[in-house]
Structure formats: structure tokens, C-alpha cells
């Protein structure tokens, strides 16, 4: 969007929804430019709307995924997420007997192959 000259339009698109769901949050470590975009987006949404983060990482691991002490924005991003937030941690009760939701609700195994 920066290259195309429509950064403000794209940022407004994601800053304005009442609820924004970020799935696979921090699956890959963001670049410095992506961190700046994340910071700006969260700053624009703060106290105006809700953001839901779905991640395979525990909240305590997010700081390191954001670059930890090597990133000047990691603290600022975590502060914007943690302030006025609610956490719902979904953990296994019996990992040995857990089944993937894809297995439960997905396509018939014969159709997948």
C-alpha cells in the first residue's frame, strides 16, 4: 500500500471496523516496517473499537515474536494490546484425547485425499 500510494486508505479500512479479528497473530515475526504498521493500526483503534488476536503463541511469548529487546516498538505494541484487554486462553484438558477441529468438522478424509 505504501508503494502504491494508498497507505492511508488501507490503514483506514482496518482501523475503522468495530471488531477486527487478527487470526494467526505473530505466526511469522514481523519486519520493522510491519511493526510500524501494527503500532499505527493499534494506536488508531485504541479505545474506539475491539481487536481480537488469535495466536498459537501464549501472550507471554508475543514480546519475543515482536523482536523483544531488539525492537523499539515491541514494548509499545504490547502496551497497546495489554491495556484494557481480556485474555481467553484455550488450553487442552486432556491432550492425549484431543482431536483437531479440522478432523471433527472438516471434509471427509476420503474427500481430502
Query: 16 pLDDT exceeds 90?
Result: yes
Coil, helix or strand for 100? coil
> pTM value?
0.79
% of residues, the chain, pLDDT over 90:
69
Query: 67 pLDDT exceeds 90?
Result: yes
With respect to CATH, is domain 7-112 assigned 2.40.110.10? no
User: For the chain, which residues make up each domain, given as ranges?
Assistant: 7-112
Burial of 83 (0-12, 13-18, 19+ CB in 10 A): exposed
Query: 112 pLDDT exceeds 60?
Result: no
Answer with the residue of higher pLDDT: 96 or 42. 42
Query: 21 pLDDT exceeds 70?
Result: yes
Amino acid at each position: 500500500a505504501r508503494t502504491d500510494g494508498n497507505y492511508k486508505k488501507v490503514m483506514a479500512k482496518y482501523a475503522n471496523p468495530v471488531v477486527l479479528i487478527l487470526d494467526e497473530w505473530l505466526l511469522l515475526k514481523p519486519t520493522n516496517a510491519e511493526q510500524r504498521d501494527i503500532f499505527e493500526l493499534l494506536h488508531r483503534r485504541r479505545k474506539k473499537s475491539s481487536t481480537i488476536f488469535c495466536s498459537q503463541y501464549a501472550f507471554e511469548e508475543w514480546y519475543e515474536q515482536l523482536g523483544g529487546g531488539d525492537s523499539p516498538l515491541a514494548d509499545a505494541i504490547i502496551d497497546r494490546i495489554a491495556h484494557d484487554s481480556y485474555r481467553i486462553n484455550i488450553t487442552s484438558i486432556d491432550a492425549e484425547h484431543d482431536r483437531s477441529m479440522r478432523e471433527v468438522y472438516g471434509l471427509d478424509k476420503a474427500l481430502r485425499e
